Amino acid sequence: MDDGYLAQFSSLFSQFDVLGAFGTNLALTFFAAIGSLAIGTVLAVMRISPVPSLRWAGGTYVTFLRNTPLTIIIVFCALGLWGQLGITLSSDFQTNFFRLAVLGLAVYHAAFVCEALRSGVNTVPVGQAEAARAIGLGFGQSARLVILPQAFRGAVAPLGNVLIALIKNSTVAAAASVPETSGLMRTMIENRPDVILAIFATFALGYVVVVVPVGLATTALSRRLSVAR
């Protein structure tokens, strides 16, 4: 790589806010992770519930959302909820689309969080639930006090995988007109095709820097919280 190319590369990143775009993706990930964890936990409880209708509803949600392309969900939130139904989550135009994108990401990844937690529930010995019933705890109390705390410990690794997928899938928010990395990369390629390799390398490296620590942290946490059987 010669000095001229380096100069062009330097001027490119002085023109575009790459760090700001990554910040938007991380903000999308943070809020969508909270939302998907909350929704996914409720779905997981529904799927292990003794009530058949709740199990059916939870299973239907997971099956439907997991088999629906995320882009369609994001576009529906932007054009369906906002464009057709007039649902707004903020009076500010950009903030409204940001929140709609967070909503789409959250409801989609909640299905995967649910299945990750169900895998954690499978690590809880059957005797734990039986002991909870023996001392008079109902299903809700057993789930909240006995099953879910242990299920979360067993589901750290799969939940980490869901988080990594969410980080990468946050780029789909461009479909809702959110100015994040994929949209910025497209703009940069259109305006500076002379340094296209550097553009690809920068965004690829950026996601490696974000994703790898998450994978290492969840793996280490999973090993630390694992319970010997």
* Phi and psi based region of residue 168 (left: phi greater than 0; alpha: psi -120 to 50; beta: remaining): alpha
Domain limits at 83? 16-225
pLDDT in tens, 195-226: 788 888 888 888 999 999 998 998 888 888 76
Residue 11 covered by a domain: no
CATH number at residue 146: 1.10.3720.10
Instruction: Of 180, 166, 218, give the one whose Cα is nearest residue 31.
Output: 166
- The model carries a pTM of 0.87
Q: Is residue 212 part of a domain?
A: yes
In-domain check, residue 7: no
How many domains does the chain contain in total?
1
Q: What is the mean pLDDT of the chain?
A: 85
Low pLDDT (below 50) residues in the chain:
none
DSSP for 182-222, written as a single string = HHHHHHHHHH-GGGHHHHHHHHHHHHHHHHHHHHHHHHHHH
Q: Is 182 domain-assigned?
A: yes
Q: In the prediction, which pLDDT does 5 show?
A: 62
Whose CA is closest to 152, among 123, 109, 128?
Answer: 123
1 within domain boundaries: no
d(CA 52, CA 56): 6
SS3 22: helix
In-domain check, residue 8 = no
- At 3 the pLDDT is 60
Instruction: Specify if 6 maps to a domain.
Output: no
